[in-house]
């Protein structure tokens, strides 16, 4: 799994854990829903840290909590 895919899966997982949807998360994070949707679909090649921080703020998490899961422990090497 590549990092971008892991980030998308983690966002979906956290939405489910917090019983929220993408539109509500976007409102809580203060970003357009299209920004999150582009991260979930292959339109955003590189999700930015600032955007991830806003998403974490919207969910009441830290960046450490966001990345502290098994999805990020076995990522493929992305040097090409």
77 belongs to a structural domain: no
Look at residue 9 and tell me if it is in a domain: yes
Residues ≥6 apart with Cβ < 8 Å to 12: 40
Residue 78 has pLDDT above 90, yes or no: no
pLDDT tens column, 19-53: 999 999 999 999 999 999 999 987 666 788 999 99
Domains: count for the chain: 1
Contact 10, 66 (CB under 8 A): yes
Full domain range(s) for residue 32: 3-72
CATH at residue 65: 1.10.260.40
Which pLDDT score is estimated for 46? 79
| pTM of the shown model | 0.88
């Amino acid at each position: 799994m590549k990092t971008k895919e892991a980030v998308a899966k983690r966002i979906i997982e956290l939405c489910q854990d917090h019983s929220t949807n993408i539109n509500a998360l976007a409102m809580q994070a203060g970003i357009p829903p299209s920004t999150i949707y582009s991260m979930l679909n292959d339109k955003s090649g590189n999700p930015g840290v600032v955007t991830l921080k806003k998403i974490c703020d919207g969910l009441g998490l830290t960046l450490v909590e966001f990345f502290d899961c098994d999805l990020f422990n076995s990522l493929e090497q992305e040097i090409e």
